[in-house]
Structure 1
Amino acid sequence: MLLTDSFLDYLLYERNYAESTVKRYQMDILELQKFGEEQIEELTPSGVDAELIREWIIFMMDRGCAPATINRKLSSLRTYYKFLLRRGEVEVDPLQKITGPKKTKPLPVFLREKDMDRLLDDIDFGEGFEGCRDHMIIEMFYATGMRLSELIGLDDEDVDFSTSLIKVTGKRNKQRLIPFDEELKRSMREYVNVRNEAVSVRSDAFFVRENGKRLYPSIVSSLVKRNLSKVVTVKKRSPHVLRHTFATAMLNNGADLGSIKELLGHESLATTEIYTHTTFEELKKVYNQAHPRA
């Protein structure tokens, strides 16, 4: 018998785990036991070795278990064998050199360039200050790739119209400069004029509410979701999607990864490389749709 009642009592009474959690540990261990007993007639805790664990992992993967599920089951077994080692019931932890399957990172969601063109050129954002501001926010995200926190944190003094540079304060207060073109410059000047006319008392913030105070993250997230819904049906419609859209558009139009890394404020090039996978997936879709033998 692989499972010991003393382990379940330990989780329940010493670790104060919920009964549902203890039940999950029990099921994970019994699942390994069932698999192992198909190969070993009478399975004991000391009879489990690394080879059996690896075969169990392959078995679960073949059945379509997600990496997260497999790693959770391995975590249950690791806790169990640490318990057995402390009590001297086994001499070796068979999971010591076991590495679970890696979780596959989902590719970033992004909008096609034609959808962004339609949103910025054809969609009505409404009249007055709020409509102008909301359009400016969408355009700013798409033109610069900045994060939500960076956009909210922008002050008037961070936008230098003479040099066409925006100073952005990113993670860990690290600052970087993002250049902007004539089109964005015209849009920003128009927004500033409308804002200054509509809002009499303001803070130092570049983007403000009607009362002149800095925007909340929830306000920006809500307006982005509302306006993206006008051109796309993708489930995720957040400011970060516009950041992904900026990076993908830059890559598709010839920018090198190093430049995109600097514009996005990534610490590592490896983080930026996810966009090459995104572009490749898009190329595969185009190929499958267009090629007669695809």
Structure 2
Amino acid sequence: MLALYEPYVQEFLNYLRFEKRYSQHTILSYQNDLEQFFTYLAAEFDGPDVPQITAGLIRSWMASLKEEKRTAKTINRKVSALRSFFRRQMINGVIAQSPLTTVITPKISKRLPVFVAEKDMAAVFKKPGSPKEDATGVEEEEVDIEKGMTEWEKEVGKLIMAVLYNTGMRVSELVNLKERQVDAHYSQLKVVGKGNKERLIPVSAGLMKELQDYMAKKRLKSLSEVEFLFVNDAGKQVNRGRVGRLVKKYLTEVTTIEKKSPHVLRHTFATHLMNHGADLNAVKELLGHSSLAATQVYTHNTIEKLKEVYQKAHPKGGG
């Protein structure tokens, strides 16, 4: 970080950490975006002080990002980080007005959330070797998704898939889930989301039984003193990268969708709920969204589902 900007940036990051209580992952994202912006200013415009930064300089940076083939979504996220930073500088009295007031961000084409079909999710949880039907209705042998994995990796991997799909929690929420957040009595999980906001997510009796069995096996492996729920063979907390690889491994065997990430399972959770008539506000609470706007995107998938049903079932649907 350039010395000129470091005091401003550090104060802002401390504000995010201690007042907004953002996660370390989110804070690092803000830090990277700000460092990139100020490095650009230093290289192209000799590093003007914060009060001298204009809308023109920001537009110039945005143009450079576009030349680097950055997507509109990425550019908007970076500009959003700047917006928060300059809003903080106004509160601190460093500037009188944000230079972003007249900056227009690029439009993002709205895309429906990618999700896994219900039949494909069902295939994830089938036992290896059990028969399945192909597109023609002919039974074929199920691919062993867990081939090459240790017994503990299988235990943890399948349970991680079940928890992500059954709760819709974020990957950061999952890796930081602790045993004490598993409430067997009320069959629910206490999740700590963005801004350290807590929410309760109900789980089925079947999934709770799997979680209890898993924790019992942790005790047998002398891993019971590890506070994090999901651990690897060595008793270390499972990290985001490992979860991402696990999800990709499982989904690669059952679906041809391009994206195969933990966040896709979050989309899948919400979409399947909506397709089965769940209340939008209830889905919002389960996902931990701060507003309905973020949840409403799933209603579009529901509409597409209704169109499909209409076209297949109504006598004039295909005309």
Q: TM-score range by the shorter chain?
A: 0.5 to 0.7
Does residue 118 in structure 1 map to residue 118 in structure 2? no
Give, in whole Å, the separation in 1 of the partners of 2:283 and 2:253. Answer: 28
Contact 2:275 2:305 in 1 (8 A): no
Matches within 5 A, 1:141-160: 141-160=164-183
Q: Name the CA distance, whole Å, in 1 between partners of 2:236 and 2:106.
A: 48
Structure 2 contact 312–318 (Cα < 8 Å) conserved: no
List aligned pairs for 1:1-294, cutoff 5 A.
Answer: 15=45, 68=72, 102-123=107-128, 124=144, 125=146, 128-200=151-223, 202-285=225-308, 287=310, 293-294=318-319
Displacement of 1:221 in angstroms is 0.5
Q: Helix, strand or coil: the match of 1:107?
A: coil
Q: Deviations over 1:103-159 (max 9, x none)?
A: 222211101111111111245435622101100000000111100000011111000
Residues 145 and 242 in structure 1, CA contact (< 8 A), matched pair in contact too: yes
Letter in 2 for 1:273: Q
- CA offset at residue 180 of structure 1? 1.1
Counterpart code for 1:109: V
- The count of corresponding residues between Structure 1 and Structure 2 is 215
Q: Determine the C-alpha separation between the residues in 1 that align with 2:44 and 2:109.
A: 35
1:281: Cα distance to partner? 2.5
Give CA-to-partner distance per residue, 1:241-264, whole Å, 9 cap, x none. 001111111111121000000010
TM-score w.r.t. structure 1 length? 0.64
Once the 2 structures are TM-superposed, how far is the Cα of residue 283 of structure 1 from its aligned partner? 3.4
Q: Which amino acid in the other structure matches residue 108 of structure 1?
A: P
Residues 97 and 148 of structure 1: CA distance in aligned 2, closer, same or farther (over 3 Å): closer
Question: Quick one: distance in 1 between partners of 2:115 and 2:269?
Answer: 8
Q: TM-score, normalized by length of structure 2?
A: 0.59
Give yes or no for contact 2:231–2:237 (8 Å, CA) kept in 1: yes
1:108/1:172 CA distance change after superposition, 3 Å:
same
Contact 1:159 1:165 in 2 (8 A): yes
Instruction: Check the 8 A contact 1:205/1:214 in 2, yes or no.
Output: yes
Question: Identical aligned pairs, as a percentage?
Answer: 42
Which of 1 and 2 has greater Rg? Answer: 1
Give the alignment's Cα RMSD to 1 decimal: 3.3
Shift of 1:214: 0.8
Any gaps of 5 or more consecutive residues in structure 1? Answer: 1-10, 29-66, 73-95
Distance 1:164 1:249 in 2: 21
Residues 1:214 and 1:288: Cα distance change in structure 2 (over 3 Å): same
Q: Distance in 2 between matches of 1:164 and 1:199?
A: 25
Distance (whole Å) between structure 2 residues aligned to residue 201 and residue 164 of structure 1: 20
SS of aligned partner of 1:121:
coil
Where do 5+ consecutive residues of structure 2 fail to align?
1-40, 47-59, 77-100, 129-143
Superposed CA deviations along residues 34-80 of structure 1, whole A, max 9, x for unmatched, are xxxxxxxxxxxxxxxxxxxxxxxxxxxxxxxxx95xx99xxxxxxxx
